[in-house]
A and B are shown apart, each in its own frame.
Chain A
Amino acid sequence: MSIKKSLPFFLALIAAVVAHAQMPLPDATSILAKSQEVFFSAGADMKAKITMELMAAGGAKRTRILTMLRKNDGRNQKYFMHFHEPGDVRGTAFLVWKYPERDDDRWIFIPAVNMVRRIAARDSRSSFVGSDFTYEDVSGRDLSADTHTLVKGEKLRDTDCYVIQSIPKSSADFTKKISWIDKRTSLPLKEEYYDAQGEVARLFTADKIENVVSNGKTFPTVTKRTMKNVKSGHATEVSFTNMAYGVGLEERAFTEQSLQMPPQKWIQ
């Protein structure tokens, strides 16, 4: 076969390779990036009343009720949390200014002594208000901390999902994470966190997904989720109610004034 004759063949081959490369081959990191965006940053802002039920293996149940406000500020985010229940933390409020590349600024307001203080909270694996969720679970783990691989596509409860494996680059409280990401909504439907023995230690499930309509836009939202400690049997179920996106939260809701005087309009 002369070069001249084979040229069209080579051209076709090159074209095919290029075409293949240009196909939107989903890459694991961008799937997760999109997933984090819809899960943690949907809308310009968000308000929700959150009920956390902490269930011990023996059946004992504890409840935390809080209002959460969030506002996106470029890649930064601001969170305001005001506790309604239980009684020993009623009126306590947290303000978190979250930055992608450095430690968060966090403040707490303690109503009993009317005090606003900064708090040190470096370990994002610490429990969020005594629940099975860690700070990281609540606000998103840094994607560059893990190596992500798209394992396969799979149906989970009739929903087409990407299955992604994430391996921490440095020591973390899990050795491997497998995530099921809904292909359509990009929401995480299930996450398995493996321990050093290679067994599932913690299990996240999105139990209820609702379309929250705000200002004519539809936001698929996980309104009920559970994190279960498989080893101890302890689990935390979180329900979001009174949800709305893009409600126009003013900057003032994320300042010291708000800590001391919770914005009545948003926390009821």
Chain B
Amino acid sequence: MKNFPSFFVIFLTLVFEIRAWAEEQCPFQVHGFLLGAVSGRVTGERPPNGNGGDFVLGEERLRLELRGATPSGEAFLLVKGDGFHDAVVNKTHGDLREVYTGYAKGPADLRFGRHIITWGVGDLFYINDVFPKDWESYFSGRPAEYLKLGVDGLRTQFFSKWVNVDLLVIPFFTPDTFPPAERFFFFDEFAGVTNRAARTPANRFSNIETAVRFSRRVTDSDLSLFFSRGFWRTASMRPDNTAAPTSVTAFYPSLHVYGASLQRNFLGGVTSLEGGYYDSRNDNDGNDSAIPNSEWRFLAGYQRELRRDFTLGTQFYGEIMDHYGTYRQTLPVGFYQEDHFRGVASLRLTQWLRYQTWKLSLFAAMSPTDIDYFLQPEITYRVTDHLGTTLGANIFGGQEETTFFGQFEKSDNVFWNVRYNF
């Protein structure tokens, strides 16, 4: 039985945990928030067959968070879930954001369940953070934490003077969530094809995803190395026939990522560097046009507090496609052709005012290669310790409708939310 070691570890952890819970009193904390969020498209355009009219988002959301730990902190649990009513289509949903139980002893801990994890040093540009993202939430104006989706599996961490290790074993695949056609305009190579199927990686042992990070300080820098084995989280599309497709299958090809990141103080600020190689295992030669080619990704960033309560962050992010010549040769006629190199520069300005009750921020990204942009201005006001409100906008634009930001040009929206924490 190949997987015996992991089952054994699971069993032992549960035994330790039950013992720890039984031996100690365990105080629980319940917290959460109520969130009302609305977002409206301001371009006057409505997606054909859309279900929201001018609305991209309209919901009431209740977050409940239960946290417990034994007094020693050895055994712990977290349940974080949302119930929400999508007012646009009058439907109620549940969303289990994060739930795990774990056991920690000395330098190590082990957790089972659904985990939200953020790796890497980029601000909205992710290289070694191979975990699923919810771009629908982000681009429709939900709070930023909703960009991250949980992964289901086992997480173990080990901390020491020499190296910290963070290991994930993820048996169940979660793809990224992209804005839906009912509420967003975006580029679809197969727009006219209605016969569609989706195939996620089967729940097989051989499809278990793993990701590991090794990190330590090296001469005042935070250095991390990453390795992951899993699948692209953005669907690839395979048509039955490239010349005259009648059906399209969405699928998630195999992907390995190897990378590194570094963060350190520099010139009065913090500088960040990150790079990775996206090894597209099902298309090593780059001759299958339906599967993304392997690519290099890199990022350089710098953040600095320019003056009191005012911070500037700037980044440059790039992707370089491997086997570009083969890609061009094998791309079917009439298909959108990606560039060999895609670069995006970004700027984030944050100003706190009036004892940090007001926060003004702007995130701006611009790609000189795609010739497109994304702007997200935001104003947040903390009315009291419990009540806060945010007004902001997502503004997209570009020369072409095929680029990442350019495709959303008709989906510019203004969002507003009110949140009560308890």
Interface residue A73 (Cβ < 8 Å from any Cβ of B): no
Once A112-B145, A114-B116, A119-B270 are accepted as A-B contacts, the answer to whether A126 and B309 lie under 8 Å apart by CB is yes
Interface residue B305 (Cβ < 8 Å from any Cβ of A): yes
Interface residue B69 (Cβ < 8 Å from any Cβ of A): yes
CB proximity to A under 8 Å, residues B5-59: 31, 33
Interface residue B71 (Cβ < 8 Å from any Cβ of A): yes
B401 to chain A, nearest CB (A): 31
Interface residue A60 (Cβ < 8 Å from any Cβ of B): yes
The reply to whether A60 and B305 form a contact with Cβ atoms under 8 Å apart is no
A91 to chain B, nearest CB (A): 8
Interface size class of B (residues with CB under 8 A): 35 or more
The reply to whether A263 and B270 form a contact with Cβ atoms under 8 Å apart is no
CB proximity to B under 8 Å, residues A41-96: 54, 56, 60, 62-63, 85-88, 90
Once A88-B421, A255-B159 are accepted as A-B contacts, the answer to whether A263 and B73 lie under 8 Å apart by CB is yes
> What 0/1 pattern do residues 294 to 323 of B give for CB contact below 8 A with A?
000000000111111101000000000000
Q: How far is the CA of A125 from the CA of B308 in the complex (A)?
A: 6
The reply to whether A113 and B308 form a contact with Cβ atoms under 8 Å apart is no
Once A114-B115, A130-B356 are accepted as A-B contacts, the answer to whether A86 and B304 lie under 8 Å apart by CB is no
The reply to whether A121 and B309 form a contact with Cβ atoms under 8 Å apart is no
B368 to chain A, nearest CB (A): 26
Q: Pick out which of these stretches binds chain A: B83-91, B336-344, B383-391, B406-414.
A: B383-391
B164 to chain A, nearest CB (A): 6
Interface size class of A (residues with CB under 8 A): 35 or more
Task: Find chain B residues with CB under 8 A from A56 CB.
Answer: 355
B283 to chain A, nearest CB (A): 31
Closest to B119 in A: A115
Interface residue B263 (Cβ < 8 Å from any Cβ of A): yes
Interface residue B382 (Cβ < 8 Å from any Cβ of A): yes
Interface residue B334 (Cβ < 8 Å from any Cβ of A): no
Q: How far is the CA of A88 from the CA of B386 in the complex (A)?
A: 8
The reply to whether A261 and B109 form a contact with Cβ atoms under 8 Å apart is yes
Interface residue B212 (Cβ < 8 Å from any Cβ of A): no
Once A62-B384, A87-B33, A88-B421 are accepted as A-B contacts, the answer to whether A120 and B117 lie under 8 Å apart by CB is no
Interface residue A5 (Cβ < 8 Å from any Cβ of B): no
Task: Find chain A residues with CB under 8 A from B268 CB.
Answer: 103, 120, 122
Once A114-B116, A257-B107 are accepted as A-B contacts, the answer to whether A126 and B385 lie under 8 Å apart by CB is no
Closest to B104 in A: A261
The reply to whether B311 and A120 form a contact with Cβ atoms under 8 Å apart is yes
Interface residue A127 (Cβ < 8 Å from any Cβ of B): yes
The reply to whether A120 and B304 form a contact with Cβ atoms under 8 Å apart is yes
The reply to whether A264 and B355 form a contact with Cβ atoms under 8 Å apart is no
Interface residue A260 (Cβ < 8 Å from any Cβ of B): yes
The reply to whether A88 and B307 form a contact with Cβ atoms under 8 Å apart is no
CB proximity to B under 8 Å, residues A196-248: 234
Q: How far is the CA of A114 from the CA of B147 in the complex (A)?
A: 12
Once A63-B385, A120-B311 are accepted as A-B contacts, the answer to whether A265 and B109 lie under 8 Å apart by CB is no
A122 to chain B, nearest CB (A): 5
Q: How far is the CA of A95 from the CA of B254 in the complex (A)?
A: 38
The reply to whether B356 and A87 form a contact with Cβ atoms under 8 Å apart is no
Interface residue A160 (Cβ < 8 Å from any Cβ of B): no
Once A87-B421, A103-B265 are accepted as A-B contacts, the answer to whether A122 and B305 lie under 8 Å apart by CB is yes
The reply to whether B388 and A88 form a contact with Cβ atoms under 8 Å apart is yes
Q: How far is the CA of A131 from the CA of B422 in the complex (A)?
A: 21
Interface residue A105 (Cβ < 8 Å from any Cβ of B): yes
> What 0/1 pattern do residues 139 to 160 of B give for CB contact below 8 A with A?
0000011011000000001010
> Other CB < 8 Å A-B pairs besides A62-B385, A117-B263, 5 of them?
A113-B116, A113-B145, A113-B147, A130-B352, A261-B73
Q: List 17 A-B contacts (CB under 8 A).
A: A85-B385, A87-B31, A102-B265, A105-B265, A114-B116, A117-B121, A118-B265, A126-B308, A127-B309, A127-B355, A130-B357, A132-B355, A256-B159, A257-B159, A260-B157, A264-B73, A268-B71
By a beta-carbon cutoff of 8 Å, the part of chain A in contact with chain B is: 54, 56, 60, 62-63, 85-88, 90, 102-103, 105, 112-115, 117-123, 125-127, 129-132, 173, 234, 252, 255-257, 260-265, 268
By a beta-carbon cutoff of 8 Å, the part of chain B in contact with chain A is: 31, 33, 69-73, 104, 107, 109, 115-118, 121, 144-145, 147-148, 157, 159, 164, 215, 220, 222, 263-265, 268-270, 272, 303-309, 311, 352, 355-357, 382, 384-386, 388, 419, 421-422
